[in-house]
Each structure stands twice: as C-alpha cells, then as structure tokens.
A and B are shown apart, each in its own frame.
Chain A
C-alpha cells in the first residue's frame, strides 16, 4: 500500500486510492459482478493490480492486460488516451505479448524494475561478466525509450552512454529475457517481461479452456456468479483474470438478467 501512495499525486488522491483499494480487496470476495465497470483508468489499474493472483511456482509481479482494462472502463478511447499519458509520465510501461494479434500487457514501472532485478540476480549467479549492461539498460534505455519496441541502432547508441557496447551485451539482454527479436524484422526488438513465458502459456490455455467450457454448454452461456467460482485446470491465473480479458477482447459478452449478470459467447 505504501508503494501505491508514494506513486500517486498529492495527498488527497492518495487517501482516495487507499480507500478504494481497501474496498477493492474486500470486493474481491464479493465478486466480479459488483465492480465490473469503473470510471477511472488509474483506479481500475490499481484495483486489478491488487487482485492479481498469487502464483506459487513463478515469482511474478502483477501485470494487467489491455483487454481487461477495456472491460473495466466504459469509454475505450479514454482508456487509450489515459494509458498514453500515463506512459509518458513513466508511471507504467506497455509490452506487446505474443499470445494474440493485439495483446498488450501493462505493468507499473516499479513492478517492472523489480522483475528485471529478479532476472538479473538469477543471471548473476550463473556468470559474472558483462552484467554492467543491465545497469546501462535500466539507466538509459528504460528511462528514455517508452515504446514497445526498439531498433538495433538506437539500442546500441543508448547503451553506449554507459560504456562500450558489444554484440555479447545484446545477447545477454536477450538471454535474460528483457528483449526479444522480432520475427518480421531482424533489426528490431520487442521489450519483454522476463520470466513471463509459463504464465503466457497458461494464459492462452486458460482462454481456450474457458471458451470451450462455455461452448460445450447447451446455450453457450452461464451466470457470472457460479462461473467465477470455477477453477481452471490449465492456467495458474484465476477465473476473474480470464473473464475480464475475454469480455474486453470481445469473445464473451455480458447480459443483464433479473438473476444477475449472464456471460455468453459472442456469435460474430
């Protein structure tokens, strides 16, 4: 909680956010139904960050998918614009994921730096040379390049502010999981979240499982309340995460019924 307050702007806002977050945690038990839509992007982000499931096997900092944000806030254009301005203010960072056509993950900058530090520590144990490149990366590249991708020229020129850059420095960055080569263009790299591989696999498997579960039902729909309590077998992420993601990307839609929200597979 202290981390959140230090990040917010001004005392009044900090108080508001704290109260919302406390309520948010309590609401976690009440369910998705009551807090499916919110009005502010940052509040939605922080609430979803607080609700990120705790995965035992992998030490993973919370991240939020863009489609989850779309399902939580009414106006999508406003979400896009807020994300853009938050990105410019260096509160959070966007990453393009390889699990779908337009999947993006949003991570708060502090969480990302923590994740990078974990990855660097793991690599440090294995070999001691050339680790200064991570310092350069953190100091020069992350601070200045706010996009999801970077090209080779720019990467080298930014890293060389720290010292002399060689090929093996870039290779080290890739093996640590901080950068990934683009398939269509060998000179461009995507920024990636280190150690996210198994979770992404769980993400796509969980999506498939949830969609196939609903498709197998007679009318391809189910009430939200009992659906939320189900456990997914193939995904370490919880049901609420997947529901928000699929509703936001348009695969599922919610219908209001007298007995509560109903989740239905969307036809087109």
Chain B
C-alpha cells in the first residue's frame, strides 16, 4: 500500500484509481468482524437494513415484530473488554409506541436528504413517516394491501415521492410534501415485491412484481415504457443488434428497447394474396383487442417475464448501467439498462428463498454483488458470475444485506434476529489498557518520550 501512496504522490497513479484499489482490497478481505458488534433489540426477523445516505453513520433496521431501530455504527456505545465495540440501538420504536406499527415492518428507509426523517412500511397496510429526533409519526399513508417495499429516490431534487409496492397490483407514489397519493401505476398483474428508483434519473422507477415482470416507469408519463423480457438477450456488454432482423424472422420484436406493440405480425413467405386472405379471415378464436398506444409506451398486455416466479429483489448499480434482479426461481439476472436486454451472465448455483423479498447490495464500483442465499451471503463477480466469497455466519435465513461504501463494511440481517457486521481485516491491536474514559487501545494514546 505504501508503494501505491508513493505512486500517487509521484503522479503514476491517479487518485481515483488509488481510492478504488484500496476499496476493492478492503472489500476482498471482508470477514466476520472481530472488533465490532451490533446489539439487536429486535424479537423478530430482521427484514430491512439501510445505512443513511448522507453521512453513512446511522443504520436503520426494520423487523418482523413491528419494531424499527437506529444504531450509530461509527461510535460504539460501550466496549467489551476494550476490544469489541458494542453498538446498542439509539432508540427503538415498536408496538408499544402509541403510533407504532401493529404487524411486521417489511421495509425501513431513510429520507435520502438527511437523517431527520425515516419511512417505514409494514404488513398492517400503513406507511409511516417518522421524525427521528422526536420519534413521532409525522405522516401516514394507508395502502390497499400489505406493504412489501418502499423507496425514495436518492438523486431527486424536484420531488419527494415515496414509491410503495404492496400486494395490490398498483404501485402508488406517496408525496410527503402534500400527504396525498400522487401517482398510481398500473401494469403489473400481481403484487409488487421489489421497487427501486433509477440511479441515473430521478423520474424513472423500476418495479418487480410477483408475476415475474420487471417494468420501467417514467413518472412524468402514464404507463411503463419498458418491460424486461428474459428471452431477449445480448451476448456480452452490447446488444446483438440487427442479427434477428437480418434473418428476416417473423417476430415483431424490434431490437430497439422502446418497442411498440406490433399491430400484426407479418408472416414469412409474404405474398400479397396471402396477406389479403389473412386480413379477410382474421377472426381469431380468442384474444385481446389490439390496443392503440402512445409511442414509446408498452402495453399492459405485454406478458414478458423476467423470471419464472416472483421478482424478489432489485438493485441498480451505482453507475446506472446495469440492473440486477433476483427471482423466486433462484436465479439472479443482470440486465443492461440501456438496451433492456438480459446479459445472460450466469450466477452460479444458488438457492434463494422464494417467499420473501431480499435486499441485495452492490459495491460502489459495481464489481461485486452480495446476495443473501438461504443462510449465507454470497458475493459474486457481476460481469462473470463467479462466486467470489461465501459468508456463513447466520443461523437462519438471511433477508437483507447492506454495504457501507465509505467504511467497506457489510451488515446482514436474518431470521435469527441478529445483525452481523462483516468488516475488512483490521490491523492487529497490540495492547489495551484502562484509561480515563474506559478501555482505550494503546495505539491511540500518545507515547512521548521525555
């Protein structure tokens, strides 16, 4: 590492690549932390974890017993034997709270601008916006079904909409500023289990439903503009482009991402006589009416599925180029956001829990993805699909994982009610001794020779 510092000083190494190198070294050495522990006050499975986006100092957790708690992950509340930092929760809001949730909390997210507010969504059909300092509910929204996921865009400057996915087929956008629902997005045929705002545009929302479809919505317009189809794929990073049209194949699927519903499929061996006959005898036994649509919008009748089963987790990479989706068919797929194609990267055999929503995590440079697989967390290389590491530590199914990009620490929450911290290999602490304010490591103390 010191050589890298000298190189940066001399100008051989760019500061940004120096930082990336250090970060990826640290992420590669992640292991169960031997110096940090989070004391979880929850009595139920941990469903959601999020580190705040402004200072990456506070961790918010939501659990199945209706409680949400916040921990300070940078400063420990006390030290056990001077070596292990224990982080207790700063506060807990649970069923005893007079406005607390009554059933399990499925999602807890921070307000992206600052840590003054956080939003929880629960199976009791409510989404509550809490004031962190007074731990009081500021606003609540009643949804028509159990809330599976809420999300707020971290790059939004003109709106503060909470996107909420529930067992109802419609995705609702709730506005904190006005306290009302601003949008209702219809198109899914079953509940919506995972939601994610795009990392490149504040107006684009990606939703994954229990019907297996992933839809892209631009909230400034009605309807979704893209549905991801696992059958349309590209080999590698750029699309296959015009090979399908070169063969003159029938399918009306154009290679452009914003495909319009084809009005009529032109058959092979096209002859005008046949076409005329086709038009005449065009009473097909059954079938939906061909809809007229605005250009650029995708039909609600578009039945393309991204997974054989429900889409349980979505995560967009930080650069906005790729989207990762996990499904209850135990597959993880990587999609190219630009073209909307499946990149066919095969993430090695994994068994994912099919019934619950998962929270995936991606490193900042989009090189590794952390996926909760049953009771372990597996790290895969995003572009090649090879397993990088397997983190075994939990006793039961892992539901959520969250990577703090500043400290390169991974937090995982599972059904065994524990939040585990995985941190990079820390330097060996030589000795500790009792100081004025409790145990303090010798390395931190001044050591002047007189």
**A interface with B by C-beta (< 8 Å):** 70, 75-77, 79-81, 84-85, 88, 96, 101-102, 140, 143-148, 151-154, 156-158, 160-161, 164-167, 170, 184-185, 187-188, 248-250, 268
Contacts and interface: CB of A to CB of B under 8 A. Distances in A.
B373 interface: yes
B349 A188 contact: no
A152 B330 CA distance: 28
Contact of B287 (A76, A80, A145, A153): A153
A151 B303 contact: yes
A188 B231 CA distance: 15
Given A102-B329, A156-B284, A185-B303, 16 more contacts: A70-B349, A76-B348, A77-B346, A77-B384, A88-B244, A88-B247, A101-B328, A101-B330, A102-B308, A145-B251, A156-B287, A161-B269, A166-B285, A248-B349, A268-B375, A268-B376
A147 B253 CA distance: 12
B264 interface: yes
Nearest to A160: B278
Contacts of A188: 303
Interface in B333-352: 344-346, 348-351
Contacts of B292: none
B443 interface: no
Contacts of A102: 308, 329-331
B267 A79 contact: no
Given A77-B346, A157-B267, A268-B374, A167 B278 contact: no
Nearest to B331: A102
B303 A80 contact: no
A173 to B, nearest CB: 13
A209 to B, nearest CB: 21
Contacts of B236: 81
B220 interface: no
B265 A84 contact: no
Nearest to A76: B346
B268 A152 contact: no
Interface string B341-382: 000111011110000000000000000000001111000000
B385 interface: yes
B296 to A, nearest CB: 22
Contacts of B274: 161
B309 A268 contact: no
A187 B287 contact: yes
A97 to B, nearest CB: 11
Contacts of B265: 154, 157-158
Most interface-central of A77, A79, A165 (chain B CB within 10 A): A77
Contacts of A158: 250, 265, 267
Contact of A77 (B268, B344, B376): B344
Interface string B221-240: 00000000001010110000
Contacts of A166: 285
Query: Which 7 pairs between the two chains have the least Cβ-Cβ distance?
Result: A250-B349, A76-B346, A144-B250, A161-B267, A80-B344, A77-B346, A153-B287
A148 B308 CA distance: 12
Contacts of A143: 268
A85 B235 contact: yes
Residue from A166, A187, A188, A248 whose CB has the most chain B CB atoms within 10 Å: A187
A160 B278 CA distance: 7
A151 B281 CA distance: 19
Contact of A84 (B233, B281, B285, B375): B233
A60 B15 CA distance: 63
Contacts of B374: 268
Given A102-B331, A166-B285, A140 B268 contact: yes
A84 B235 CA distance: 8
B287 A152 contact: yes
Interface in B163-215: 211
A147 B140 CA distance: 46
B286 interface: yes
Interface string B246-260: 010111000000000
B287 A140 contact: no
Nearest to B373: A268
A152 B286 contact: yes
B98 interface: no
B287 A101 contact: no
A77 B286 contact: no
A155 B385 CA distance: 36
B406 interface: no
Contact of A101 (B247, B308, B344): B308
B349 A249 contact: yes
Contacts of B330: 101-102
A151 B229 CA distance: 14
A172 to B, nearest CB: 13
B17 interface: no
Nearest to B374: A268
Given A101-B329, A102-B331, A77 B285 contact: no
A186 to B, nearest CB: 9
B285 A156 contact: yes
A147 B264 CA distance: 19
A88 B233 CA distance: 11
Nearest to A164: B281
B264 A157 contact: yes
B130 to A, nearest CB: 37
A161 B303 contact: no
Contacts of A81: 235-236, 344
B235 to A, nearest CB: 5
Contacts of B351: 250, 268
